[in-house]
Amino acid sequence: MSSSSSPPLIASFTKPVPEAGNPGVVWIYHPLHNLTFLSIPVRNCPLPDGTQSDYPCIPLTTLLDACYIVTGMEGILAFYDGDQQVVHTGLVAANRYYYIVSNDRTVDYDIFHSFDAWVPPQREQVPDYWFTGVYPRSRPPRPNQYDWNAVSGQTVNTLREKARSADGACRLSGFPVPIEAAHIVPEACRHWYQMRRICLQLHWPESIPRNLAVANAVHDIRNYITLRPDLHERWDAHAFVFIPVDGYFIAYYITPGPELQATDFHCARLNTPERTDGYLLYIRFAYSIFQLLVNYDSFEVHPNSSPVSIPPTPEDVEMSAGSGLPPFAGPSEAVEFDPNAGMDSVTAAKHIIDWYSDVEREDLPADLACAWRDLIDDKEDNNENTERLKREWLERQRRQMREDRPESGLRELVQDSAVGSQDSGRHSQ
């Protein structure tokens, strides 16, 4: 723009880009193998007196929690400069440390090689500082009732909206818009969440809402925290974790290189929603810690390791329906199975019924009832939930088909339809 001799109206400015420094690293070594198994980036932290730490550091409790998650054994951190020197300081500087169990450096231990294979500890085994006043570690015989216990809904979109509405703003930045409801335990881990029966470890050991399908337990209203979109994106990229410090949860950035966002939010306090169960934040912490595992192939697999098989997605199920591939286990049997296997038409129909079972969903394909009407009458399936889904789904389809087709045509379609014969059903009109 052209310059002017008139006095400025506004004191405009150019916002400087803050300098994002490189983090230090805490290396955790196995004393017998003399080999690192965790490499954790650490950053300078603000101190209570208003100053900044002179060196990159991280709470000792965070390191001990990370080591316990990977090894399944309680231990201590120590230096080795001739004699063993146990680390006692509250903030641990970037350096090389050994994780020792049973106070004996000669004791060997194995590690979990992945989050998928990790078996989380019982609620009572997680340190007390991970829990909140609303949802403490100990569980009374009759847990208290809260407003969110009565929340309703079955779809992820509905529950996300209700979590976002309840929070009202990003719980880390305080920004009211734009905001997103982020899963604590990621949606990608829904089968892991189900197989590990995480719900039973929560203070209220039932899904909220209670009518949430078992396969959708990861969408529990307690498993959401509302964040600004950029913070949500970086959280999902394992840029930071929420850790308990001084009675609060704070965002601790663990990216290995410069992180511009950390200049604003490293050690920022989370305004934790009352509905949040600390056990879920502990699980999410573990999920990110396993991204920092190194040299795991050089260690024996932990004896409690139990990898969780991941089932096909609903999209995979739809594609395999009626494909003539080998038979597949039905929903009541599909606990762990080969994701590369095929699926018979009956099982595919049941999975599709489950996928379209939510009463709030509007996009039900009109021809599914025609194609699978005969297939979903499997008398051998005693799963009450599946039977309910069948009834609800069929009733919605009947209503939709009555609106779309003449009554006579509907009767002919129901009689003549089967997988692989949709064309003939269309011609019968």
Same domain, 231 and 339: no
pLDDT at 11: 86
Q: Note whether 43 and 266 are within 8 A (CB).
A: yes
Q: Which two tokens stand for residue 201?
A: 């470890």
Measured CA to CA, the distance from residue 275 to residue 223 in angstroms comes to 9
The last residue of one of the domains, among 253, 272, 298, is 298
Q: Which two tokens stand for residue 133?
A: 């006043």
pLDDT at 264: 95
Same domain, 249 and 330: no
In this structure, is residue 282 part of a structural domain? yes
Please give the C-alpha separations between residue 310 and each of 116, 189, 289, 323, 421, in angstroms, as whole numbers: 10, 9, 21, 21, 31
Same domain, 214 and 318: no
In this structure, is residue 309 part of a structural domain? no
Same domain, 232 and 120: yes
In this structure, is residue 170 part of a structural domain? yes
In this structure, is residue 389 part of a structural domain? yes
In this structure, is residue 114 part of a structural domain? yes
pLDDT at 151: 80
Same domain, 271 and 400: no
In this structure, is residue 12 part of a structural domain? no
The last residue of one of the domains, among 298, 324, 341, is 298
Same domain, 162 and 294: yes
pLDDT at 14: 87
Q: Note whether 162 and 155 are within 8 A (CB).
A: no
Neighbours of 111 (CB within 10 A): 24
The pTM score is 0.72
Same domain, 320 and 208: no
Residue owning tokens 């300098």: 19
Same domain, 274 and 353: no
In this structure, is residue 354 part of a structural domain? yes
Q: Where in the sequence is the domain holding 374, given as residue range(s)? A: 314-427
The last residue of one of the domains, among 298, 324, 340, is 298
Total domains, the chain:
2
pLDDT in tens, the chain (429 residues): 555 578 888 988 887 888 888 999 999 999 999 999 999 999 999 999 999 999 999 999 999 999 999 999 999 999 976 567 889 999 999 999 999 999 998 999 999 999 999 999 999 999 999 999 999 999 887 767 777 776 877 778 889 999 999 999 999 999 999 999 999 999 999 999 999 999 999 999 989 998 888 889 999 999 999 999 999 999 999 999 999 999 999 999 999 999 999 999 999 999 999 999 999 999 999 999 999 999 999 999 999 999 997 665 554 444 333 333 333 333 333 333 344 444 455 555 555 555 554 444 444 444 454 445 445 544 444 455 555 666 666 666 666 555 544 444 444 433 443 334 444 344 444
Within the chain, what is the greatest distance between any pair of CA atoms?
90
Same domain, 228 and 335: no
Q: What is the DSSP letter of 99?
A: E
Q: Which two tokens stand for residue 78?
A: 């120590």
User: Going by C-beta distance under 8 Å and a sequence separation of 6 or more, which residues neighbour residue 376?
Assistant: 346, 349, 350, 353, 390, 394
Same domain, 249 and 354: no
CA angle 80, 82, 85 (to 5 degrees): 45
Same domain, 178 and 236: yes
In this structure, is residue 9 part of a structural domain? no
At 404, the amino acid letter reads D
Sheet strands (E) in 43-174: 57-59, 75-81, 83-86, 91-93, 96-101
Q: Which two tokens stand for residue 272?
A: 């934790």
Same domain, 281 and 395: no
pLDDT at 15: 79
Among 373, 129, 401, 62, which residue's Cα sits nearest to residue 272?
Answer: 129
